[in-house]
Amino acid sequence: MRPSRRAPDELRAVSLERGVVKYAEGSCLVKFGDTHVLVTATLEERLPPWLKGQGRGWVTAEYGMLPRATLERTRREASAGKQNGRTVEIQRLIGRSLRTIVDLEALGERQITVDCDVLQADGGTRTASITGAWVALADCLNWMKARNMIKGQVLRDNVAAISCGIYNGTPVLDLDYAEDSEAETDANFVMTGDGRLVEVQGTAERTPFSQDEFLQLMALAQKGVARLVDLQKMAVG
């Protein structure tokens, strides 16, 4: 029995609310149960120096957590003077995931920065961030299309993410914090709308896991991401 009484393959209640920040070209407040992430997509007519003059654009992401998004207050990174290792890992993952489904040539020499700020954290902040980021990004691209800044299919596919883990010996989908802190194994899957893999990250928290266990997690993830992609399509549709 999961602490939340969910079935092993059951997602938390997911909502994707668009247009939540009035200035941003795209925005989404994504909720996976009690995990709430505010995502904005910002278009800028500039590029990182190493990318200039190559006829391609760039999509990057930054991630942050409000200090009291968590059970105990965590130190504000701006005041600590640096982003910690976990933050850096997550924002790199979000950026890579989004770039896989964007046609950077069709985007043109511009940068879209996706900011994912966690307002409340109950496990799965990186997967909620990626799932919501796709919505904010889609809205940003629609904003550009409405202004004739881009043509054709810049967004090649959906991308969404979900965590899975082995909790009390059972593979379960979409871990919340209570499960995550007890799980033997924890894996995050980033997948496209057509079910292919973009990123896979599996970690044995305490004991190594078998290939078979891993395949069970992957199967669960596929179901979960398919559902998330449906929700994304409904949100922007």
Q: Is 198 in the site for its own copies (CB under 8 A)?
A: yes
Give the burial class of 21: count Cβ atoms within 10 A of its Cβ; 0-12 exposed, 13-18 middle, 19 or more buried: middle
> At closest approach, how far in Å is the CB of 137 from its own copies?
13
Q: Is 100 in the site for its own copies (CB under 8 A)?
A: yes
Member of 15, 42, 142, 216 binding its own copies (CB under 8 A) = 42
Please count the other Cβ atoms lying within 10 Å of the Cβ belonging to residue 195: 11
Q: Residue 86 annotated as binding?
A: yes
Q: Is 148 in the site for its own copies (CB under 8 A)?
A: no
Closer residue to its own copies (CB): 179 or 186: 186
Member of 199, 223, 226, 231 binding its own copies (CB under 8 A) = 199
Facing residues of 161 across strands?
190
- Cα–Cα distances in angstroms (integers) from residue 225 to residues 2, 72, 124, 188, in the given order: 20, 30, 13, 11
Q: Is 196 in the site for its own copies (CB under 8 A)?
A: yes
Handedness of CA 234, 186, 181, 209 (dihedral sign): positive
Q: Contacts with its own copies in 106-145 (CB under 8 A)? A: 113, 115, 117, 119-120
Crossing angle between the packed helical segments 125-146 and 85-100, to the nearest 10 degrees: 40
Polymer length of the chain? 237
Q: Is 203 in the site for its own copies (CB under 8 A)?
A: yes
Q: Is 50 in the site for its own copies (CB under 8 A)?
A: no
The owner of tokens 């069709």 is 106
Member of 34, 103, 109, 180 binding its own copies (CB under 8 A) = 34
- Using DSSP's 3-state secondary structure scheme, residue 25 falls into coil
Q: Is 23 in the site for its own copies (CB under 8 A)?
A: yes
Give the burial class of 7: count Cβ atoms within 10 A of its Cβ; 0-12 exposed, 13-18 middle, 19 or more buried: exposed
Residues that bind its own copies (CB under 8 A): 21-24, 27, 34, 38, 40, 42, 44, 62, 64, 66-71, 73, 76-83, 85, 87-89, 91-92, 96, 100-101, 113, 115, 117, 119-120, 157, 187, 191-192, 194-204, 206-211, 214-215, 218, 222
Known binding site for phosphate: residues? 86, 124-126
